[in-house]
A and B are shown apart, each in its own frame.
Chain A
Amino acid sequence: MSLTGGRQRPDPIVVVSAGVVTPVGSDLDAFWSGLVTGSDGISMIERFPVADLRVGRGGEIKKLPLPGGGAEAGCRASLLLEAAAGDLLAHVTLLAAPERTAVVLGTALGGVDELDRALADDPSLRRAANGFYDSPAQALARRLGARGPLLTVSTACASGATALGLAADLLRDGRADLVVAGGYDVLCRFVMRGFDALRSLTRERVRPFDRRRSGLLLGEAAALVLLAREADAPAPRLGRLLGHASTSDGAHIAAPDPGGRGLEAAIRGAMAQAGVSADEIDFVSAHGTGTTLNDPIETAVLKRVLGRRARAIPVNSIKGGLGHTMGAAATLEAIMCLLASRHGVLPPTLGLEEPDPECDLDYVPRQARPARPRVSLSTSAGFGGCNAALVLEGVTS
């Protein structure tokens, strides 16, 4: 702990490394390359029937980087996590004792795909147990041999941010020495039907902050980071998590608060915990879903929080190329922020071509931009009025 203005500020937590599997790349390097070059991971969904849906496209991962592509009968969420863990472990070794190694995962859907199969055609005990939302985390912990705290967070599409925050808290409280944390979600009929029924999916392309934006598309992904306390973290490092906060809108079960008060509170809470002022924010990774409601609300919130500097700070959304990967989204975006610092490049906001006058910040349109942010802010929101924000510090030298 450090003292700031009489209040204790939690120590930063080191992000040692990361591993991902996404629609634009099946490992960290490919993911980054895909973001910077503007790869479009959206395609027709092939893994399950979509003919009866208004929209049948999404960010589907066509081939998993696992032997055989991942057994078709297995729990897909667990397979995505296994692939991301494989990528993470290619970069780093888990050196803590198993009982001091924790796993914290965020998800919007958990193992619901397995519940679907358990109800439809598979009476096995295993399938029923896999229907619990924490089953993929249980499987990942077994895969990693981690026997420390095991938490599954489900704050809808903000889950991947909340998970990183809780993971940092585990380390700060000495409940673990290493934490594998992140988020995941799969594309399945359950979620496609749900968003299709809500008319939230666009028949066109995802256009965050564009005046023609008409909705989101879903994607699937898993994203993991390895977190450690400063004293325990090996080099090289990806960066640091300085602060986090999660808040409730208390407004509506499915729509964001029109005033964005909950999101604003989350951002201010994360910045306060980080001890960072608006003057120190170099880059914002926005939730940026491309829905009619979200983007202007988020823009207004960023203007209030960042004040006179709001228009000078680059903001992007990577959902145009990936789709909205739900529980994985916030972790992927946090990783993107840290990679931007490492590589000195900001990935563009794909799909943004005609800016909405209501969304008048610098959204990094069309192509990647050279810039090396030190401190980044990442925002997330989800059903039920869940909001979360992370403040991250990249390695810039």
Chain B
Amino acid sequence: MKLGAVGVLTGWGAGLSALPADARAAAGDRPVVELAAPALVGERFRRATRECRLGVAAVTELLQRAGLARDAIRGPDTGILYATAGAYGASNRAFIEAAAGSREGRGALHFPYTAPSAVPAEVAIEFGLTGPYITLIGGATATLDALWQAERLLAEAACRRVLVLAVETFAECAELYRRGRWLVERPLVEAAVCALMLSGEPPLTVRPATRPEALERLARQRAGETLACAPLIQMALAQELGEDASDLTGVWRGRRTALTAWREAGPGRRTGEVVCAAVAPTAR
């Protein structure tokens, strides 16, 4: 499997260039570095939650970065695999509080948006994606599992490309995250990241890991705690740096996973190099 491109939006701004050298220092005493919801036009987006709009914005950022038209991903040949640890928290909380009478106007139209799968659903509707479709819940390890599943789908020719999308929002549930300081590090940085994966060698290997590899440490240092978005930020960093990418690693609730994906020993390539595919719109 090859990495086509990565679209990165974080509380620090768009793209890797917006990331500070030291997220902890840059955050100061802010527990959450918020990512503003993009202004999207249309009746559907009037109802869509912030996390849904962030998902759409991440795919738009990816397409711009890859130089792809929207039609290039439309149809059954594009799969979407979505990972999040808690981006459903805001919509769930809003619905619960509306039921308790402490908020207004959350009813029939809002309920479908409480499902975690509302995010990839909105993306699928917006971009016309009708291929394989899975939502995994968890932090970085869920995203590594999504990348593993992407490779399976591509190897089985279930589709020709896969969008691996992760979104994390924290602001609406900040005090709940404060209760769980043992679970997440600081600063919590909201993010929406999407990677375009294409078929190609070499295959992935997923295995348990005992420690964070360099890319995980770098992503955490520069972006902060982004939970499910972290592995995709690692990929973007490796691609930008043009450096050998050792294993992608991630941890969630005491389980650490490594994904060895980007090794290709061939002419002009070093073992461990990130394989960056040329991306071209598909004629369909």
Please give the residue numbers on chain A whose beta carbons come within 8 Å of chain B beta carbons, in ascending order.
7-8, 10, 99, 108, 110, 112, 115-116, 118-120, 123-125, 128-129, 131-134, 138, 149-156, 162, 166, 169, 173, 175, 189-190, 193-195, 197-199, 245-254, 261-262, 265, 269, 273, 382-387
* A156 and B135 alpha carbons, distance in the complex (Å): 9
| Cβ A245 vs Cβ B120 within 8 A | no
Cross-interface CB contact of A248 among B93, B133, B149, B206, cutoff 8 Å: B133
* A24 and B36 alpha carbons, distance in the complex (Å): 48
Other than the given A152-B136, A247-B76, A383-B117, 11 more pairs (CB < 8 A) read A112-B114, A128-B179, A129-B179, A154-B117, A198-B108, A198-B111, A253-B47, A273-B156, A385-B124, A386-B121, A386-B135
Task: Tell me how far the C-beta of B135 lies from the nearest C-beta in chain A, rounded to whole angstroms.
Answer: 5
**Chain A residues whose C-beta falls within 8 Å of the C-beta of B122 in the assembled complex:** 253, 384
| Interface status of B255 (Cβ within 8 A of chain A) | yes
* A396 and B93 alpha carbons, distance in the complex (Å): 48
| Interface status of B280 (Cβ within 8 A of chain A) | no
| Interface status of B200 (Cβ within 8 A of chain A) | no
* A175 and B148 alpha carbons, distance in the complex (Å): 11
**Chain A residues whose C-beta falls within 8 Å of the C-beta of B115 in the assembled complex:** 108, 154, 156, 382-384
Knowing A115-B92, A175-B206, the reply to whether A265 touches B179 (Cβ < 8 A) is: no
| Interface status of B40 (Cβ within 8 A of chain A) | no
| Cβ A253 vs Cβ B133 within 8 A | no
* A153 and B183 alpha carbons, distance in the complex (Å): 21
Chain B contact-residue range equals 35 or more
- B24-47: CB near A (< 8 Å → 1, else 0) gives 000000000000000000001001
| Cβ A250 vs Cβ B124 within 8 A | yes
- B135-178: CB near A (< 8 Å → 1, else 0) gives 11110011001001100100011100000000000000000100
**Chain A residues whose C-beta falls within 8 Å of the C-beta of B97 in the assembled complex:** 119
| Interface status of B89 (Cβ within 8 A of chain A) | yes
Q: Which 7 A-B pairs have the closest CB atoms?
A: A384-B121, A194-B111, A248-B133, A250-B124, A254-B112, A152-B137, A197-B108
| Interface status of B125 (Cβ within 8 A of chain A) | yes
| Cβ A248 vs Cβ B129 within 8 A | yes
| Cβ B108 vs Cβ A253 within 8 A | no
| Interface status of B100 (Cβ within 8 A of chain A) | yes
**Chain B residues whose C-beta falls within 8 Å of the C-beta of A10 in the assembled complex:** 156
Knowing A108-B115, A156-B115, the reply to whether A253 touches B121 (Cβ < 8 A) is: yes
Knowing A253-B118, A261-B130, the reply to whether A154 touches B208 (Cβ < 8 A) is: no
Knowing A154-B116, A166-B149, A384-B120, the reply to whether A247 touches B92 (Cβ < 8 A) is: no
* A382 and B117 alpha carbons, distance in the complex (Å): 10
**Chain B residues whose C-beta falls within 8 Å of the C-beta of A129 in the assembled complex:** 179-180, 183
**Chain B residues whose C-beta falls within 8 Å of the C-beta of A120 in the assembled complex:** 96, 100
| Cβ B176 vs Cβ A247 within 8 A | no
**Chain A residues whose C-beta falls within 8 Å of the C-beta of B21 in the assembled complex:** none
* A189 and B5 alpha carbons, distance in the complex (Å): 42
Knowing A115-B93, A251-B125, the reply to whether A149 touches B145 (Cβ < 8 A) is: yes
Knowing A115-B96, A154-B116, A384-B117, the reply to whether A252 touches B137 (Cβ < 8 A) is: no
Knowing A123-B179, A250-B129, A383-B115, the reply to whether A153 touches B152 (Cβ < 8 A) is: no
* A123 and B179 alpha carbons, distance in the complex (Å): 8
| Interface status of B85 (Cβ within 8 A of chain A) | yes
Residue from A10, A124, A169, A250 having most chain B Cβ neighbours under 10 A: A250
| Cβ A116 vs Cβ B96 within 8 A | yes
Knowing A8-B156, A132-B85, A249-B130, the reply to whether A153 touches B149 (Cβ < 8 A) is: no
Task: Tell me how far the C-beta of A328 lies from the nearest C-beta in chain B, rounded to whole angstroms.
Answer: 16
Knowing A131-B89, A189-B99, the reply to whether A269 touches B134 (Cβ < 8 A) is: no
Cross-interface CB contact of B133 among A169, A254, A386, cutoff 8 Å: A386
12 contacts between A and B (CB under 8 A): A110-B116, A128-B179, A149-B257, A153-B136, A153-B137, A190-B99, A199-B108, A250-B127, A250-B129, A253-B47, A253-B122, A386-B121
| Cβ B176 vs Cβ A134 within 8 A | no
| Cβ A151 vs Cβ B130 within 8 A | no
**Chain B residues whose C-beta falls within 8 Å of the C-beta of A387 in the assembled complex:** 133
* A129 and B80 alpha carbons, distance in the complex (Å): 27
Closest to A129 in B: B180
Closest to B118 in A: A384
* A175 and B142 alpha carbons, distance in the complex (Å): 15
| Cβ A99 vs Cβ B89 within 8 A | no
* A150 and B138 alpha carbons, distance in the complex (Å): 9
| Cβ A252 vs Cβ B125 within 8 A | yes
Knowing A154-B135, A197-B107, the reply to whether A128 touches B180 (Cβ < 8 A) is: yes
Task: Tell me how far the C-beta of A161 lies from the nearest C-beta in chain B, rounded to whole angstroms.
Answer: 11
Task: Tell me how far the C-beta of B66 lies from the nearest C-beta in chain A, rounded to whole angstroms.
Answer: 20
Closest to B126 in A: A250
